[in-house]
Structure 1
Amino acid sequence: MGRDSKMKRDLWDESHRPWPLPDIPWTMRQTWSNLLFAHYPIQYEELRKVVPKALDLNTYDGMCWIGVVPFQMSGVRLRGLPPLPGTSAFPELNIRTYVTVDGKPGVYFFSLDAANHLAVIGARTLYRLPYWFADMKIRDRGNMIEFNSRRRSNRDIRFACTYQPASKPFRPDSGSFEEWIVERYCFYTLNASGVPFRCDILHEPWTLQQAEVDFMHNTMLSEQGIVLESEEPILHFAKQIEVRAWPLVDPVTNQIRI
């Protein structure tokens, strides 16, 4: 086997996933770069107020957790198609927490802000995700990342910070908090009737670093009615990861949902 073939095989190895992928083709490929994971503790009772009842909340050390995740999206394309001009690279900002449906742990998004209008429309249509169009910039200053976002529909929803890695890269230990927050291979969304859908994803196991952050603005949580237990986040950085996404499926039958 040639070197390129071996690299491709290793990149999309699914043996580390906790359950098999659906027996259907993947639909989208993308690259995530310069990610900050800022995680805030929140009481179960407070989180239960703002997460749909169809999703079981996950806890770690007795607490639920909210993640604020800014990053750069690139290489976005549908299977079998080249990247659409002007839609393949843009900054994004996700607000997320951790849930389970039918025994499969995943991510639930409160919001996803992006700087690309077509990408926002596409993700809302294909994946029923709460995407919002925002004025957003990300700059790589060598070891320092500058990120600034302000939602178009509500200018009070703002986020601005600088962040950088602050340790050597490491793979999270089994059972650790770091593994718990990042090693999740699906996200959940709901239709208008409150019925959950699952989107499976595939990527290599995460490589993280500790992070340092200087926050200038962050109303992403307070403006969405999220009441935290502490304003002090746990911080991690990830340089880059390649991702494939599958169509939305029924969480129990694995059948495609329309």
Structure 2
Amino acid sequence: MFVEEGCIEEKRKLTTSLPWIMKQTWSDVLFAHYPVPRKVLENLVPSGLTLDTFYQTGWVTIVPYLTSSMHLRGLPPIPGMAAFPGFNVRTYVTLNGKPGVYFFSLTASNFLAAYSAKTFFRLPYFHMNMYYKKAKELIIFESEKKSGLQLLCNYKSISAPSVADKGSMEEWLVERYCLYTVNEKGVPLRADILHEPWLLERAEAEFQHNTLLKALNIVPNYERPILHYAKKAVVRIWPIVQAENK
């Protein structure tokens, strides 16, 4: 059963009284986590946001996934958006004690989804042709090359699902319930996101081509990422609002 707003733990409580505006499902999610020197990321994150680190180490995560069942509140699924693949590149930030994610880039194979998110959420969204296929347990994910970005990979789960342990790095990486960005004046903006805690599985992945970190001039501490897989999350998204910087 989906978690209701009134019974979620403290760190997941909403910071807006507005109703959610969109619901969608994310499936076959791969989290590829790369440790990155703190100073490198501090130079890439807007000054209005504070880089969040785990034991003084910054992290960047590449996330390919499939979006489906997208619909606005009170309306049926949006025509032309039945299911489409996408990926994002994110790091971790905090503001006023509320941890969240900051996206360096996001892509979607659906033009309307990419255009709408870029327009209404002020996010660095790109439209890109992609190929997604599930062959038994193996996910085949391929994108074209555009704006220096390209991701070709295969991945699969290799364990049973479980919720991340309290206080673990896994929990720190994935249990975040808002996204941050800034407007043209550098003022922080926030959109709340709500879903059940991630059911994570250990994963294996083969990256045939991956230019996503290179495009940001990021060299990770280790070439091999920490990998997690999640089968599905049903997500509610709130409108983007100005985040008070106390």
TM-score by length of 2: 0.94
Give the partner amino acid of 2:22: M
Partners of 1:17 and 1:162 in 2: CA distance: 36
Does residue 174 in structure 1 map to residue 197 in structure 2? no
Does residue 92 in structure 1 map to residue 107 in structure 2? no
Aligned equivalent of 1:16, options 1, 4, 9? 9
Partners of 2:72 and 2:18 in 1: CA distance: 15
Q: Is the 8 A contact 1:16 1:205 kept in 2?
A: no
The equivalent residue for 1:29 is 23
The equivalent residue for 1:109 is 103
Partners of 1:146 and 1:17 in 2: CA distance: 37
**Aligned 1:136-175 pairs, distance under 5 A:** 136-152=130-146, 154=147, 156-175=148-167
Alignment identity in percent?
A: 48
Aligned equivalent of 1:234, options 221, 226, 241? 226
CA deviations over 1:60-79 (Å, ceiling 9, x no partner): 13210000000000011111
Partners of 1:11 and 1:139 in 2: CA distance: 30
Aligned equivalent of 1:247, options 222, 239, 245? 239
CA RMSD of aligned residues (A): 1.4
Partners of 1:11 and 1:200 in 2: CA distance: 14
Aligned equivalent of 1:58, options 42, 52, 59? 52
Partners of 1:12 and 1:242 in 2: CA distance: 12
Give the partner amino acid of 2:8: S
Partners of 1:210 and 1:57 in 2: CA distance: 26
Q: How big is the shift at 1:225?
A: 2.1
Partners of 1:102 and 1:159 in 2: CA distance: 34
Partners of 2:108 and 2:116 in 1: CA distance: 12
Aligned equivalent of 1:75, options 66, 69, 76? 69
Q: Is the 8 A contact 1:77 1:88 kept in 2?
A: no
Give the partner amino acid of 1:131: Y
**Aligned 1:34-53 pairs, distance under 5 A:** 34-53=28-47
Q: Is the 8 A contact 1:57 1:99 kept in 2?
A: yes
Q: Is the 8 A contact 1:204 1:242 kept in 2?
A: yes
Partners of 2:241 and 2:98 in 1: CA distance: 13
The equivalent residue for 1:204 is 196
Does residue 131 in structure 1 map to residue 125 in structure 2? yes
Where 1:121 maps in the other structure, the secondary structure is helix
Partners of 1:125 and 1:179 in 2: CA distance: 31
Unaligned runs of 5+ in 2: none
- Of stretches 30-39 and 13-22 in structure 1, the one that deviates more from structure 2 is 13-22
Unaligned runs of 5+ in 1: 1-6, 254-258
The equivalent residue for 2:183 is 191
Partners of 2:207 and 2:230 in 1: CA distance: 18
Q: How many residues align?
A: 243
Structure 1 residues 215 and 87: alpha-carbon distance in aligned structure 2, compared to 1, 3 A threshold:
same
Partners of 2:173 and 2:240 in 1: CA distance: 22
TM-score by length of 1: 0.90
